[in-house]
Amino acid sequence: MPRTAPGPARTLTYLTLLAVAFFSALPLYYSVVVASRDNAALAEVPPPLIPGGNLFANVSRVFDTVPFALALLNSVLVAGTIAVSVMFFSTMAGFAFAKLRFRGGRFLLLLTVATMMVPAQLGIIPLYMLMVKLEWTGSMYALVVPALINAFGVFFMTQYLSRALPTELLEAGRVDGCTTWGLFWHVVLPAARPAAAVLGMLTFMSAWNDYFWPLVALTPENPTVQVALSTLAAGYVSDYALSLAGTALGTLPLVFVFALLGKQVIGGIMQGAVKG
Amino acid sequence: MATRASTAVTPSRRPQLPPPRDRARLRVLAHRLDMKASPYAYVAPYLLLFCAFGLFPLLYTAWVSLHDWTLLSDTHTFVGLGNFQALLGDEYFWNAAFNTLSIGVLSTVPQLALAIWLAHLLNRPLRAQTIFRVTLLLPNVTSVVAVVVIFSQLFGRDFGLVNWVLSWSGAQPVDWNAGTASSHVAISVMIMWRWTGYNALIFLAAMQAVPRELYEAATIDGASGFTQLRRITIPMIRPTVVFVVITSTIGAMQVLAEPLLFGVYSLTGGPDRQYQTLSLFIYENFTKLDFGYASAISWMMFLFIVVAAAVNYLLTRRARGSLT
């Protein structure tokens, strides 16, 4: 860590960081301002800078315009299922890659890392065709099943377990007559818990915010939050108050949860970040 | 005779339970099976899903791209590289490629510079570290749909906050959506807002592993903060810089939601295609059910990504020479 900066430089550092924090929060704040006014008030110069009193009216209009309650339920179920599944299966695969020796293991791990680099769009078209064949389009299966596990999760847990899980502990378990499954259940899972929790949160957030694939695979009648929001934004061009009320409604819960758990998420990113 | 004798003897020797030696052998066998097979069992769920929903679609795209393939017809004529040939003569394709590159450069270069600088500032002993870090990541937690809806309002021509602030300096209102350059700037700002903090945290994580003594020595030598950043920090975290540059390049080549929603759901990226990116071009052809053509664009995009990533890798690697 560099030395502590002398007085003026330190003040400048704080001012810069405060400015960044301000600009990080400003758009979110402004969306609440717009969401709480009526559309006519937005055609003013200067633009309004403090919230008005129309938030609840706009929010209830959101529920009238799109099936938003269903969208919220869908998003919670989809993101929740994906998060739990990714946590569990990534820990399993990560355990095998990090601590067990098997033929082809290194190759499979390399393949995992390589596919993290391939753009998701490349597979969207055949994936869609596959979903048509399975008759899953328009249903949540199309979102959940392909996302039950992902390369990033496997890589993340492999990294974590190879560092955080002492091999001696596993050997001791073996000497005591533990099977591999016993080791996984009694030693690996408890040791993986901190990283798995972070992975779960990250996965939940990205599944909640996923946009392109749900847009392709779902219908407006049975949307997730993001698809419902884009319907709002697409159909009611000039109705900013409405679309931003929806946006605030679909965003603020996640922002709130993040504000509570952000410290752990950031700790996870800082740990899982690729360090040379 | 010997064999008969042994078969005659065995039954009388064998009690109800297998003898301890056999049980031990069984256990050894089970143990060996466990050691040999269970690793595969642990990676099996991942591998199965990965093959079905990751690898298969990837390879199948290549196959589809060689056909005249639509959902409307059951016959798919093999056309070889015909789709790719048509693509190279398609001015919309080159327009999309240019837009992708332009938005990519406009959003990535300032973003990474800013991210490194922010990480450098945060790498000092500061009060309220956690709060600053959490606010940095806040934009990244916000969904892309929300970001674009909010920023479209901010970048409104008549009543947007950005034009209002610009008007303080006497500037004429800018129609952000209409022009090529202005729309690219607006979209780049959205991308920057969402990703700068995330990248700053990745840089910060790497910076914290740099040995402290280096900075102490540099301070004694009287090196300024900026010199320390340029001469110590960046060379020390080069692998991370390469990693972030590559992932940002890949992300920039795939930009889709920003232009789609900024154009209020226009698949062409504005009336003049002024901000139609490659991803959006794929999506446009996908909705026309022209799957063969869309697949061909996908593979071209992948090719661009590989080239862009390779160029960036070489450039970042070369920067090493001038820095150390």
Integer Cα distance of A197 and A265 in angstroms: 9
B33-56 CB burial, b ≥16 within 10 A, e <16:
ebeeebbbebbebbbebbeebbee
CA distance, residue A92 to nearest chain B CA (Å) = 5
Integer Cα distance of B55 and B90 in angstroms: 29
Assess if residue B130 is contained within a domain: yes
Assess if residue B13 is contained within a domain: no
B142 touches chain A (CB under 8 A): yes
Question: Which of A12, A13, A18, A20 best probes binding to B when mutated, by most B CB atoms within 10 angstroms?
Answer: A20
pLDDT the model gives residue B107? 94
B316 touches chain A (CB under 8 A): no
Handedness of CA B6, B12, B13, B17 (dihedral sign): positive
Could you give the percent of chain B with pLDDT greater than 90?
A: 34
pLDDT in tens, A55-80: 889 999 999 888 999 999 999 999 99
Mean pLDDT of B5-18: 50
B209 touches chain A (CB under 8 A): yes
Judge: B261–A124 Cβ closer than 8 Å, yes or no. no
Statement to judge: residues B105 and B221 lie in one domain:
yes
Q: Give the chain A residue nearest B201 (alpha carbons).
A: A270
Statement to judge: residues B35 and B182 lie in one domain:
no
pLDDT in tens, A186-233: 999 999 988 898 899 889 988 998 999 999 999 888 999 999 988 888
CA distance, residue B51 to nearest chain A CA (Å) = 10
Between A102, A212, A276, which is nearest B239 by CB? A276
Please return the burial class of B61, using the count of CB atoms within 10 Å of its CB with bins 0-12, 13-18 and 19+.
Answer: buried
Statement to judge: residues B146 and B46 lie in one domain:
no
Q: Give the chain A residue nearest B133 (alpha carbons).
A: A266
Tokens of A192: 């993986």
Statement to judge: residues B73 and B161 lie in one domain:
no
Assess if residue B17 is contained within a domain: no
Assess if residue B67 is contained within a domain: yes
Tokens of B291: 């799957």
Mean pLDDT of B120-148: 87
pLDDT the model gives residue B17? 63
Integer Cα distance of B183 and B176 in angstroms: 5
B58 touches chain A (CB under 8 A): yes
Statement to judge: residues B179 and B58 lie in one domain:
no
Integer Cα distance of A216 and A232 in angstroms: 16
- Nearest Cα neighbor of A150 from A191, A210, A103, A101 is A210
Mean pLDDT of A160-183: 88
| CA-atom Rg of chain B in angstroms | 30
**In terms of residues, how long is chain A?**
276
**In terms of residues, how long is chain B?**
324
Mean pLDDT of A237-249: 83
Statement to judge: residues B141 and B244 lie in one domain:
yes
pLDDT band, very low/low/confident/very high, at B76 (cuts 50, 70, 90): confident
Longest Cα pair distance anywhere in chain A, in angstroms? Answer: 76
B255-291 CB burial, b ≥16 within 10 A, e <16:
bbbbbbbbbbebbbbbeebbbbbbbbbbbbbbeeebb
Statement to judge: residues B223 and B140 lie in one domain:
yes
Assess if residue B14 is contained within a domain: no
Statement to judge: residues B260 and B315 lie in one domain:
yes
Statement to judge: residues B198 and B94 lie in one domain:
yes
The domain boundary residue, chosen from B46, B61, B78? B78
Q: Give the least confident one: B1-5, B177-181, B256-260.
A: B1-5
A123 touches chain B (CB under 8 A): yes
Between A122, A265, A271, which is nearest B302 by CB? A122
Phi, psi of A242 (to 5 degrees): -65, -50
Domains identified in chain B, total number: 2
Integer Cα distance of B83 and A230 in angstroms: 31
Q: Which of A10-24, B84-98, B207-221 has the highest mean pLDDT?
A: B84-98
Judged against a pLDDT cut of 60, whether residue B8 lies above it is answered with no
pLDDT the model gives residue B91? 94
CATH at residue B278: 1.10.3720.10
Tokens of B104: 């990519």
User: Read out DSSP for B247-303?
Assistant: HHHHHHHT--HHHHHHTTS-TTSSTT-TT--HHHHHHHHHHTTBHHHHHHHHHHHHH
Statement to judge: residues B98 and B45 lie in one domain:
no
Judge: B57–A127 Cβ closer than 8 Å, yes or no. yes
Statement to judge: residues B62 and B90 lie in one domain:
no
Judged against a pLDDT cut of 70, whether residue B4 lies above it is answered with no
pLDDT the model gives residue A5? 54
B201 touches chain A (CB under 8 A): yes
Q: Give the chain A residue nearest B46 (alpha carbons).
A: A149
pLDDT the model gives residue B15? 53
B280 touches chain A (CB under 8 A): no
Tokens of B140: 């990244």
Q: Can you tell me which residue has the tokens 């405060």?
A: A18
Assess if residue B16 is contained within a domain: no
Assess if residue B7 is contained within a domain: no
pLDDT the model gives residue A145? 94
Q: Give the chain A residue nearest B253 (alpha carbons).
A: A119
Mean pLDDT of A236-247: 80
- Provide the residue range defining the domain that includes B192: 84-319
pLDDT the model gives residue A276? 30
Cβ-contact A173, A160 below 8 angstroms: no
- Across chain A, mean pLDDT equals 86
Q: How many CB atoms lie within 10 A of CB A183?
A: 23
Tokens of B20: 């301890």
Question: Which of A10, A16, A17, A72 best probes binding to B when mutated, by most B CB atoms within 10 angstroms?
Answer: A17
The domain boundary residue, chosen from B21, B54, B78? B78
Hey, is A38 helix, strand or coil?
coil
A189 touches chain B (CB under 8 A): no
pLDDT the model gives residue B55? 86
Q: Give the chain A residue nearest B282 (alpha carbons).
A: A121
Question: Which of A187, A238, A266, A271 best probes binding to B when mutated, by most B CB atoms within 10 angstroms?
Answer: A266
Tally A–B CB contacts below 8 A.
306
Contact residues for B138 (Cβ-Cβ < 8 A; gap 6+): A24, A25, A28, A255, A258, A262, B197
pLDDT in tens, A68-115: 999 999 999 999 999 999 999 999 999 999 998 888 889 999 988 888
pLDDT in tens, B87-124: 999 999 999 999 999 999 999 999 999 999 999 999 88
Judged against a pLDDT cut of 60, whether residue A274 lies above it is answered with no
Q: Give the least confident one: A87-91, A167-171, A237-241.
A: A237-241
pLDDT in tens, B173-203: 889 988 899 999 999 999 999 999 999 998 9
The domain boundary residue, chosen from B12, B45, B78? B78
CA distance, residue A255 to nearest chain B CA (Å) = 7
Integer Cα distance of B32 and B27 in angstroms: 8
Could you give the percent of chain A with pLDDT greater than 90?
A: 35
pLDDT band, very low/low/confident/very high, at B23 (cuts 50, 70, 90): confident
Statement to judge: residues B138 and B40 lie in one domain:
no
- Per the DSSP assignment, residues forming a β-bridge with B78 are B67
pLDDT band, very low/low/confident/very high, at B243 (cuts 50, 70, 90): confident
pLDDT the model gives residue A148? 94
Between A2, A30, A209, which is nearest B215 by CB? A2
Judged against a pLDDT cut of 80, whether residue A270 lies above it is answered with no
CA distance, residue A14 to nearest chain B CA (Å) = 8
Assess if residue B298 is contained within a domain: yes
Q: Can you tell me which residue has the tokens 């680099």?
A: A117
pTM score, whole prediction: 0.86
Task: Give me the half-sphere count of Cα atoms (radius 13 Å) on the Cβ side of residue B184.
Answer: 20
Contact residues for B68 (Cβ-Cβ < 8 A; gap 6+): B76, B77, B78, B79, B82, B83, B292
Q: Give the chain B residue nearest A118 (alpha carbons).
A: B302
Judge: B143–A233 Cβ closer than 8 Å, yes or no. no
Integer Cα distance of B156 and B175 in angstroms: 7
pLDDT the model gives residue B100? 95
Alpha helices in A135-222 (DSSP H): 141-144, 151-164, 167-175, 180-183, 189-209, 212-217
